[in-house]
Amino acid sequence: MAIELSSSIKNNLTFIELSDFIITNNLIKNETTPFNIALQSKENEDYITLYDNKNEYTFVIDADFDKGYIFFISSFIDKTKINPLLSHRLIEFFISKTDNKEELNPIFTALSWTLGSKGLILHNAFNDFSDELRHLVAQKKVSINEAYIFHTAFLSGYDPLLKMIDDKLSFSTKNAILRELSEISKKYGTGAEKLAAEIRAKSTDGMELTEIIREMRFPFQTKYAGKLESYIAGLTAKCKGTSINYSKPLEEEDYTLNIKFNSRSNLREKLSALIKNIDSGSGEDLFKLDTLFKDLEI
Amino acid sequence: MRDFYSFKNVYIEEKIKDHPNTIKILGKINKNNLIYVENTNTLIKETSRIIHPGERSQNLLLSSFKGELLQKCPGSHGHICCNYNVINQYIGCPIDCSYCILQSYLNQPFTIINTDTDTLFEHLHELHENVNDCKIRIGTGELGDSLVYDPITDFSEQYIDFFGKHKKFIFEFKTKTNFIGNILARENPGNIVVGFSVNPECITKSEEKNSTPLIERLKAAGELQKKGYMIALHFDPIIFMENWREEYNNLIEIIFRYVMPQKIIWISLGTFRYIPDLKTRMEFNYPDSRLLTGEFFENADKKFRYLKMIRQEIYKTIYNKLNTYGDNLNIYLCMESPDVWKRSLGKLPGDFDDKLLWSNPGRLCSCPASSTADRDMGR
């Protein structure tokens, strides 16, 4: 079966139906062999042939390579299903064949890849990722952006850190962990091996990893928000349905008290318990920033 | 330092191709490829993309001013504003600072120099005639360095001549260079300020790639003072690093070896802050920078800042150190809340002496240029 996509018939094809069929049966499932898209050119003739690896379909596009390739991708690749590994290979193939290596935005756009110089940086870095990291990206378990930041922070030897990340953690948590590990390494100049050992010394439970790393990355936040949380927990003890909200960046002395109650006597009980808690404390007012941060040393 | 005046491509808007300023600039630069364009808006629209600042400065667009000629610095919601009005004479900067906000603001692949200064001055003259008896603070240091291209534009001469005749304005050149030749060649008309960004050498070397070394900047500041000019110092961004106290104390000691405290019109302090987009850009454009490894908290204005109590301590330390060189230094905080002002400096802008031109933001005058000041004060 062959379909000729000359400019005169392009408008008469039902691309969506054809695209779904091709993607489902060939390209996406067979992501490790994207080079089923091949370039054939006859002497002095300006057309390319793109065919799938089973050779069931052949597309002859009456255009130069750049336009033909991008036309093919735009028409037959479902951008919502494609994974970064296949995108990377399709871009690599394009770069290897195009004469205009300066202008890659059309292929990036066709594949929903990051545009501009950042897109090229990501593409080039992808080859240098460890197999483990590339696998995580291909499986869409971490974003390519975070993988890049992580890779550039450590460059190599970082697989032990990746293996510590529990697979059950969400996509965003995994990304946050990669980011925080990168920033810890950069800040303290700690290599991957040493950092992995430091974390293991604190806990080997993969699910606890998030808290441990967060504490290492944000020591002030962990310490002072934790101090305030404990203080609030003490004040609201035995007052079920009572909470105190505060400004998360710890900028303002501006707090809100919420009390859930169902009757006048219930409200009195809760207010009494709150007052009792306030009176029985050490007298220290941690709602005042100067008091909360009195041991801050910088 | 790289050659700022060699360009791969120079785009020239047809409308200003015969303007004397355009001709002068073309005579002073190294250029490979001249491209004339009818419509710069179309060019910008068609070519805009995410770009490394270093790439932007390799191409130049000589253009005419577009849109509002004088704009109010947007400030930041809930933070005190210093009433800075900006002229976008230059859009883009080759100094290549890792923390530069222009990475987020700009996406055109060329630096823009607006050459029709006559249009600008006509507008400013009209404004000057219609404002009350007040002072309006104006500068060109928002979307570019005020002096880095001065050796090819000589615009500083025109600015000094113009503002010298328009005394309701006070004009500030802001720079990380020592390109003051044109300014030194002119007599100071009294309302011209040259502001220098300062930071410890460990920061200028690692984060401000193509800037003039700190000592050279300070020498330039000293020369200007001797010539009768007032200078300004901008400690911005202040970086909270391991040995920050020592670094900034040393910096201040070095500064006053070269400049006279009594001839400093104002000093601004601002700790490093960023919007989320800038973080993304910095990570890709400057992967070696360590600035983002600090501990930042998202504030109500969506900017990330160091912990308030840390900022407060930094400001207090620098303020106290600066004050050992003179009681009358006019020191202000850039984009900080009234509470941080009070905690760090022990006062609000309105508590300063009247001689401080910007001292009472929002009440400087009722001219259009200052009409948004109340909003920026968070009132």
- B309–A249 C-beta distance less than 8 A: no
B55 near A CB under 8 A: yes
* pLDDT reported for residue B7: 95
Cβ(B232)–Cβ(B265) under 8 Å?
yes
- pLDDT averaged over 10-residue windows placed end to end, chain B, 379 residues: 88 97 96 92 84 90 93 67 83 96 92 97 94 84 94 98 95 97 95 97 96 98 97 97 97 98 95 95 92 94 94 97 91 90 86 45 36 30
Sign for the pseudo-dihedral over CA of B200, B202, B208, B211: positive
Comparing CA positions, the residue from A243, A241, A253 lying closest to residue A285 is A253
Of residues B49, B280, B293, nearest to A187 (C-beta):
B293
Computed on alpha carbons and rounded to an integer, the radius of gyration of chain A in Å comes to 29
Chain A residues closer than 8 Å to B50 by CB: 114-119
Comparing CA positions, the residue from A110, A181, A175 lying closest to residue A136 is A175
Least confident window among A1-10, A118-127, B84-93, B281-290: A1-10
Chain B residues closer than 8 Å to A251 by CB: 297, 299-300, 308, 337
Chain B residues closer than 8 Å to A152 by CB: 287
> A156 to chain B, minimum CA–CA distance in Å?
16
Query: What's the pLDDT band for A265 if we cut at 50, 70, 90?
Result: very high
Q: Give dist(CA B376, CA B363) in Å, integer.
A: 12
> A116 to chain B, minimum CA–CA distance in Å?
5
- The complex's ipTM works out to 0.80
* pLDDT reported for residue A9: 35
- A218–B308 C-beta distance less than 8 A: no
Q: Give dist(CA A263, CA A258) in Å, integer.
A: 15
- B292–A220 C-beta distance less than 8 A: no
Please report which helix (H) or strand (E) contains residue A245, including its range: strand A242-245
- A221–B307 C-beta distance less than 8 A: yes
CA B129 to chain centre: 26
Other Cβ atoms within 10 Å of B374 Cβ, number: 13
- A121–B290 C-beta distance less than 8 A: no
* pLDDT reported for residue B224: 98
Give the three-class secondary structure for A244: strand
B132 near A CB under 8 A: no
Other Cβ atoms within 10 Å of A48 Cβ, number: 24
Closest residue on chain B to A119 (Cα): B50
> B58 to chain A, minimum CA–CA distance in Å?
15
Token pair of B281 as six digits: 């850009």
> A143 to chain B, minimum CA–CA distance in Å?
14
Cβ(A180)–Cβ(A148) under 8 Å?
no
Closest residue on chain A to B309 (Cα): A293
pLDDT digits (tens, 9 = 90+) for A183-240: 999 999 999 999 999 999 998 787 788 899 999 999 999 999 999 999 999 999 989 9
- A121–B49 C-beta distance less than 8 A: no
E strands of chain B, at which residues? 6-13, 30-37, 59-63, 71-72, 85-86, 90-91, 111-114, 136-139, 169-175, 192-197, 230-238, 264-271, 296-298, 304-306, 331-333
Size of interface A-B (CB pairs under 8 A): 67
